[in-house]
Amino acid sequence: MDLRIAVLPGDGIGPEIVEQAVKAINAVCTLYGHKVEYTYALVGAAAIDKVGNPYPEETHQICMDADAILFGAIGDPRFDNNPKAKVRPEQGLLAMRQKLGLYANIRPVNVFKSLIDRSPLRRELVEDADFICVRELTGGIYFGKPQGRSEDGQTAFDSCVYTKAEIKRICKLGFEYAASRRNQLTVVDKANVLATSRLWRETVQEMAPSYPNVDVEYMFVDNAAMKLIQQPKHFDVIVTENMFGDILTDEASVITGSLGLLPSASIGVHTSLFEPIHGSYPQAAGKNIANPIATILSAALMFEYAFNLKAAGASIRKAVNMAIDGGMVTEDIATTGKAYSTTEVGDFIVKNIK
């Protein structure tokens, strides 16, 4: 199979962790006889520095022409709280999601047995926790119009807007994932307060009869936030709107003990994007200490979701598990003994894929 992958390393540790994921992709393609072609492109602060735009048109075209996108991270402290900055790296991320139609962010949450004591929660709460968060990514308050400030600067306003079509599109994915797993779907909203949440709930109730084997529950977002900590094993598939999903998925990621372990997929109208959930971690950039595992697992998701090559994805996961179980990990998750560098962890995983 011929695979065309757009590679967007981005900022901070992005280039280092993406390099390890590319090595893993090359190894698994060699193992299974696939041909892969990479096209690299600028995004984020790196793109602002070169062309003044965090998501240039050339990058967009490269993404549109690709079968899938491997993305590192966006963010640079030079632009944080800087009133002189006319454009910020994060605007590139929002533009990319909108232009590519990346409407669904998929985040699997699994606890590695050998790292279970790294979780801030007790072992009996998190052991065997295994669920998926499905977050709507191109609607809601992040994109709603109007938004802005009053002329005197004393009032600010944002609009949370959803159409029924947007809700049906994301919830269809939620139902399908639940049907392929344990047939349990949790719809998270704030229907007691928000009109958009009431539209979400109404739409899901209309869709539910088409999925008779899926048990649907509705949960207010504040209750969901508590239950993720009190009873994470309760969940199978969670589907929710953009801002709620942003907050809950970051909360859920802590259950595993490290942000450096969790991959994600953003499913789109034109193509799909695969990235670690952590940020650019600029303090570690260039030090060869960043954890590449989430990015390598994002490559596994790419094989599974974008190319339907389940065996290739499984080979990457197996090699990652060998690294974690064998203590071949970076300093953020090293429990005893030596911590290894980014490249050492990447090389170990590549060796075990081969």
Could you give the residue numbers annotated as active site?
Answer: 142, 190, 222, 246, 250
Provide CB contacts within 8 A for 325, sequence distance 6+: 114
Query: The sheet that has 263-268: what strands, in order across it?
Result: 35-40, 2-10, 68-73, 273-276, 263-268, 102-110, 130-136, 237-240, 184-189, 215-220
Strand pairing class (148-149; 130-136): unpaired
Shortest CA distance to 98 belongs to which of 55, 129, 46?
A: 55
Q: Are 70 and 299 in contact (CB under 8 A)?
A: yes
Distance, in Å, from the CA atom of 93 to the CA atom of 100, rounded to the nearest integer, reads 11
Q: Are 253 and 262 in contact (CB under 8 A)?
A: yes
Q: Are 110 and 293 in contact (CB under 8 A)?
A: no
Q: Could you please report the per-residue DSSP string of 26-62?
A: HHHHHHHT-EEEEEE---THHHHHHHS-SS-HHHHHH
Shortest CA distance to 299 belongs to which of 307, 291, 288, 287?
A: 307
